[in-house]
């Protein structure tokens, strides 16, 4: 076999038509061909060796026709695992790098203080130039037959941070499951997603407006979910959380757990290739936040809200996947009801004024993402204050300017399942001041280590 | 209203365990077929992945999770083929009866003589399954072993019908043995093929043919134009007997190579049910061998 190929290669090399290429071009092509031949010969040899050794093994063990009397025992020495099936790693480890190049018509100083007036005072966090937010280190494994453990530690230039560390039970009866520790709330599907799984470079505007750029983020708490044994998928869940999110809840030394969520999910396949999903949810609790309004520009006074908040949401998704084509349509509506006392503090921290604050605001997004094999395109439209824009201080409606909205378009290419390049353009009018932010984002996402989950 | 709802709920939940049949959930079509072959009317089989779907890239749909919730036995290919969705389904199904280490968790690959295990593998080598080649469902000897494993697993869940399962398995094994003689007489020995993905290595072993090159330069990595160019040069020398692809991927590249070299494309079914007349495993394998012979 080998000599056959080598002879053929030599023959071809000798007869290779000289078509006026430069001599080194021909040389190059010949070398390429030669190395290819060597590689292929190697493959054949390996296969032949495997064949020989397996045949020997078979001959030694038994004749092939006695299939019926074979004992039903597993082939020995075979190891496989639950998560990565990896022979080398228990626990399973993966690292995810999310690197962004960013350009905007605005200066970095303008970007940093570009909040969404009436919702959140913080900017999006991206700066012109290179952005590497974090390398996410994920470690996970079964603890024993009763628990799985997951940790997610983003390492930033300031150090490591414990974003998530939680257990999930695996042996409770009746479709019950408990999750506890520090985790991203599953109340909303997007809230629990990690940044590398997002369809766009950032979360929808409504999430940033009500929860912050990273949604609720890691929260200490406990969760109970129930999956009843029904013909269709229905999931019910409740959570009790510490409530550290600085925008919707906030820390107070006198409070214990003061944030709660409840959610339901319903999903069924509309055809063999398509699935519908709908999920209403609510997050509610006590709020102590100074991230809603920015400091007064003339006096420097800051504003802090102490009160109660309820954030309602409903998400709907329809996915269609056939062969190499995949289309996802999704949308979500969020509604905030908030009430409390707004305290104005001077720069020394002394309260100068307290007045009642009442908010009834909403926001929504719709998006479509289409994939053909490795190439994807998508568009998203964000809009705040669709049906209600109540923001009353002492009963007086505040006016912040035109309603925030944003339009995004992205295209992405996956070189393999483990690396992705995405280009996104945003036309962002969320700052209400008539000043547009046209931003371009080039995002690189890389994964090494354990295989990630193809979650719905 | 609420009370009616609760009553309906309770009724629905009670309705499910009323059936005595063993509820089998299989990830891939051929596994579901084998379970039916061995279990007949004593099992209810739900198959998660459709024959038209690539088992490498499936998403854990909620409908799969609810199927796992209700399963008595969860059967899967193993060797990391379902790595993207299997762990998620098992964990989200909240069904202790199918967790790893229980009798309801059935890894078919445990009954297979696995080839191409890699002691060293990293992803610069492509999406390599380092536990070994997972596409063993083209191999009669391995499939018969798996069927026997299934008969044991069903018997463990339903001891009253143990003899029934054993008999069905024996019947299946002897039918395979009869067909195997025919398949061996197809004279595939010594043939040389180009393949898109590392799908047919077990079959090459069984019938002594060769896969001399792959359209994918590395598993899961699409070929560049330069690589296809070098493949054409190679094919002109080797003159292979065919280009093997499945309906799932690689057809465009295969057609291109075929045009350039005149070597015929042979599209094989990727799994049972992927083509007309491949509804059970034996007819599936019949189709595969016939396509190779042509």
Question: Are residues B50 and B158 both part of a single domain?
Answer: yes
The better pLDDT of the pair A32, A249 is held by A249
- Residues B212/B190, Cβ–Cβ less than 8 Å: no
Global confidence as pTM? 0.82
With CB atoms and an 8 Å threshold, state whether A170 touches B96. Answer: yes
Is residue A88 very low, low, confident or very high in pLDDT (cuts 50, 70, 90)? very low
Residue A270, domain member (yes or no): yes
DSSP states along A213-230? TTTT-EEEEEEEEE----
**Boundary of a domain, candidates A60, A78, A105:** A60
Whole-number pLDDT of residue B200: 93
Q: Is residue A36 within a helix (H) or strand (E), and if so which, with residue range?
A: helix A23-61
Residue that is last in its domain, among B116, B151, B181: B181
Residue of A269, A161, A176, A254 whose CA lies nearest to A222? A176
The answer to whether residues A195 and A314 belong to one domain is yes
**pLDDT at A42 exceeding the cut of 90:** no
**Residue where a domain stops, chosen among B156, B181, B206:** B181
* Subunit contact B238:A8, Cβ cutoff 8 A: yes
Give how many domains chain B has, as a whole number.
2
Which of B160, B181, B202 is where one domain is finished? B181
Confirm whether B9 is domain-assigned.
no
Phi, psi at A272, each rounded to 5°: -55, -30
Domain extent at residue A178:
92-449
Total structural domains within chain A: 2
Phi, then psi, of A414 in degrees rounded to 5: -100, 115
Q: Quote the minimal CA–CA distance from B23 to chain A in Å.
A: 13
* Per-residue model confidence (pLDDT) at position A435: 87
Asked whether A328 and A369 are in contact (CB, 8 A), the reply is: yes
Q: Do A173 and A26 reside in the same domain of the chain?
A: no
User: Which pair of structure tokens corresponds to residue A444?
Assistant: 């690189």
Q: Tell whether A221 is covered by a domain.
A: yes
Structural domain includes residue B11: no
User: What is the pLDDT, as a whole number, of residue A19?
Assistant: 43
Domain final residue, candidates A36, A60, A84: A60
DSSP string, A92-151: EEEEEEEEEEEEESS-HHHHHT--BTTTB-------SEEEEEEEEEEEEEEEETTEEEEE
- Is the Cβ of A8 closer than 8 Å to some Cβ of chain B? yes
Does A28 fall in a domain? yes
| Chain B residue at shortest CA distance from A45 | B212
- Tell me: do B53 and B197 sit in the same domain: no
Whether residues B204 and B275 fall in one domain: yes
Same domain, A109 and A49: no
Does residue A298 form part of some domain?
yes
* Tokens of residue B35, six digits: 């379970």
Residues A42 and A183 in one domain: no
**Is A323's CB within 8 Å of B65's CB?**
no
Q: What is the DSSP secondary structure assignment for residue B218, as one 8-state letter? A: B
Q: Is the pLDDT confidence value at A68 over 80?
A: no
Q: Determine the residue of chain A that is closest to B50 in CA distance.
A: A272
Which segments in chain B show pLDDT lower than 70?
1-19
Residue B19 has, within 13 A of its CA and on its CB side, a CA count of: 15
Task: Compute the distance between CA of residue A9 and CA of residue A228 in angstroms, rounded to an integer.
Answer: 65
Q: Rounded CA gap, B71 and B69, in Å?
A: 6
Could B96 and A67 be called an inter-chain contact, meaning their C-beta atoms sit closer than 8 Å? no
In sequence order, the 6+-apart residues with CB closer than 8 A to the CB of B53 are: A321, B248
Q: How far is residue A87's CA from residue A300's CA, in Å, rounded to a whole number?
A: 59
Contact yes or no for B136/B55 (Cβ under 8 A): no
Q: Which residues of B touch A86 (CB under 8 A)?
A: 130
Are residues A53 and A106 part of one domain?
A: no
**What digits encode the pLDDT tens for the residues A1-19?**
455 555 555 444 444 444 4
Verify that A188 and A44 share a domain, yes or no.
no
Return d(Cα A202, Cα A439) in angstroms, integer.
12
Q: Are residues A108 and A36 in the same domain?
A: no
Query: Which residues of chain B does A319 touch, with a Cβ-Cβ cutoff of 8 Å?
Result: 59
Residue pair B17/A414 in contact (Cβ under 8 Å)? The answer is no
Whether residue B37 is contained in a domain is answered as yes
**Please, are residues B267 and B292 in contact by the beta-carbon 8 Å criterion?**
no
Q: What is the mean pLDDT of residues A247-257?
A: 87
Q: What is the pLDDT of residues A113-159, one digit of tens each?
A: 899 999 998 888 889 999 998 899 999 988 888 999 999 999 988 88
B161 and B205 assigned to the same domain: no
Please check whether residue B6 lies inside any domain of the structure. Answer: no
A277 touching chain B per CB within 8 A: yes
* Cis amide prior to A91 (ω within 30 degrees): yes
CATH code of the domain in which B203 resides: 3.40.50.1980
Residues A48 and A153 in one domain: no
A273: chain B residues, CB-CB within 8 Å: 50
Q: For residue A74, is it within any domain?
A: no
Could you say which of A41, A60, A79 is where a domain stops? A60
Whether A121 and A268 share a structural domain: yes
How far CA A341 is from CA of A120, A209, A291, A347, A392, in Å, comes to 17, 20, 14, 19, 11
Question: Is A80 in Cβ contact with B109 (below 8 Å)?
Answer: yes
Q: Are residues A336 and A440 in the same domain?
A: yes
Residue B46 is assigned to a structural domain of this protein: yes
A145/B109 touch (CB, cutoff 8 Å), yes or no: no
Q: Is the minimum CB–CB distance between A276 and chain B shorter than 8 Å? A: no
Counting residues of chain B whose pLDDT is more than 70, the rounded percentage is 93
Domain with B282 in it: 188-293
Q: Please indicate, yes or no, whether residues A193 and A310 belong to a single structural domain of this protein.
A: yes
Could you tell me if B71 and B135 lie in one domain?
yes
Choose, out of A29, A72, A415, the residue to mutate when testing the contact with B (most B CBs < 10 Å): A72
Inter-chain CB proximity B63 and A75 less than 8 Å = no
Q: Average pLDDT for residues A276-298, to the nearest whole number?
A: 93
């Amino acid at each position: 076999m080998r000599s056959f190929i080598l002879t053929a290669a030599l023959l071809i090399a000798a007869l290779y038509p000289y078509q006026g290429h430069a001599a080194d071009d021909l040389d190059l092509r010949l070398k390429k061909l030669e190395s290819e031949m060597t590689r292929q010969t190697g493959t054949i040899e390996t296969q032949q060796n495997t064949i020989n050794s397996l045949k020997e093994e078979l001959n030694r063990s038994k004749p092939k026709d006695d299939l019926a009397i074979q004992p039903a025992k597993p082939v020995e020495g075979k190891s496989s695992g639950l998560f990565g099936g990896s022979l080398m790693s228990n626990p399973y480890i993966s690292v995810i790098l999310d690197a962004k190049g960013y350009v905007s018509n605005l200066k970095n100083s303008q970007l940093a203080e570009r909040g969404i007036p009436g919702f959140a005072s913080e900017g999006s966090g991206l700066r012109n130039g290179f952005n590497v937010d974090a390398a996410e280190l994920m470690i996970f494994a079964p603890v024993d037959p009763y628990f799985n453990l997951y940790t997610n530690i983003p390492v930033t230039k300031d150090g490591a941070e414990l974003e998530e560390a939680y257990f999930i039970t695996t042996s409770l009866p009746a479709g019950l499951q408990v999750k506890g520790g520090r985790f991203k709330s599953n109340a909303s599907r997007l809230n629990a997603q990690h940044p590398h799984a997002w369809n766009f470079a950032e979360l929808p505007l409504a999430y940033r407006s009500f929860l912050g750029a990273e949604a609720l983020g890691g929260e200490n708490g406990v969760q109970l979910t129930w999956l009843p044994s029904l013909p269709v998928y229905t999931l019910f869940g409740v959570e009790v959380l510490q409530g550290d999110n600085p925008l919707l809840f906030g820390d107070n030394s006198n409070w214990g757990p003061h944030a709660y969520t409840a959610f339901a999910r319903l999903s069924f396949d509309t055809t063999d290739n398509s699935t519908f999903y709908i999920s209403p949810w609510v997050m509610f609790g006590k709020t102590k936040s100074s991230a809603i309004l920015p400091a007064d520009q003339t006096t420097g006074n800051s504003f802090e809200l102490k009160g109660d908040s309820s954030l309602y949401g409903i998400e709907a998704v329809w996915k269609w996947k056939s062969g190499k084509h995949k289309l996802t349509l999704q949308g979500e509506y969020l509604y905030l009801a908030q009430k409390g006392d707004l305290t104005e503090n001077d720069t020394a921290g002394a309260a100068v004024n307290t007045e009642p604050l009442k908010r009834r605001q909403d926001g929504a997004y719709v998006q479509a993402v289409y994939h053909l094999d490795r190439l994807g395109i998508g568009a998203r439209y964000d809009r705040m204050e669709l049906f209600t824009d109540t923001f009353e201080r002492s009963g007086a409606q505040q006016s912040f300017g035109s309603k925030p909205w944003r339009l995004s378009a992205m295209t992405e290419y996956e070189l393999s399942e483990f690396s992705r390049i995405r280009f996104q353009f945003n036309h962002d009018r969320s700052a209400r001041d008539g000043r547009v932010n046209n931003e371009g984002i080039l995002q690189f996402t890389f994964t090494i280590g354990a295989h990630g989950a193809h979650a719905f | 209203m609420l009370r009616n709802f609760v009553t309906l709920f309770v009724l629905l939940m009670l309705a499910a365990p009323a059936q005595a049949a063993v509820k089998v959930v299989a990830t891939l079509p051929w596994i579901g077929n084998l379970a039916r072959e061995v279990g007949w009317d004593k099992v209810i089989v739900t198959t998660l992945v459709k024959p038209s779907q690539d088992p490498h890239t499936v998403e854990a749909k909620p409908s799969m999770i609810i199927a796992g919730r209700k399963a008595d036995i969860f059967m899967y290919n193993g060797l990391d083929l379902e790595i993207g969705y299997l762990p998620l389904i098992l964990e989200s199904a909240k069904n202790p009866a199918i967790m790893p280490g229980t009798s309801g968790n059935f890894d078919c690959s445990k009954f297979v003589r696995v080839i191409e295990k890699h002691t060293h593998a990293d992803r610069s080598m492509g999406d390599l399954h380092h536990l070994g080649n997972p596409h063993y469902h083209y191999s009669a000897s391995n499939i018969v072993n798996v069927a026997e494993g299934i008969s044991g697993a069903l018997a463990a869940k339903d001891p009253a019908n143990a003899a029934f399962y054993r008999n069905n398995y024996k019947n299946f094994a002897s039918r395979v043995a009869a067909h195997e003689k025919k398949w061996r007489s197809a004279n595939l020995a010594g043939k040389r093929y180009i393949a898109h993905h590392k799908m047919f290595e077990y079959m090459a072993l069984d019938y002594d043919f060769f896969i001399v090159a792959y359209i994918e330069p590395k598993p899961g990595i699409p070929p560049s134009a330069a690589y296809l160019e070098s493949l054409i040069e190679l094919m002109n020398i080797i003159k292979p007997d065919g280009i093997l692809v499945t309906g799932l991927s690689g057809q465009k590249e295969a057609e291109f190579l075929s045009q350039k070299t005149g070597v015929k494309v042979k599209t094989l079914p990727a799994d049972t049910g992927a083509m007309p007349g491949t509804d059970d495993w034996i007819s599936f394998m019949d189709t595969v061998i016939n396509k190779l012979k042509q």
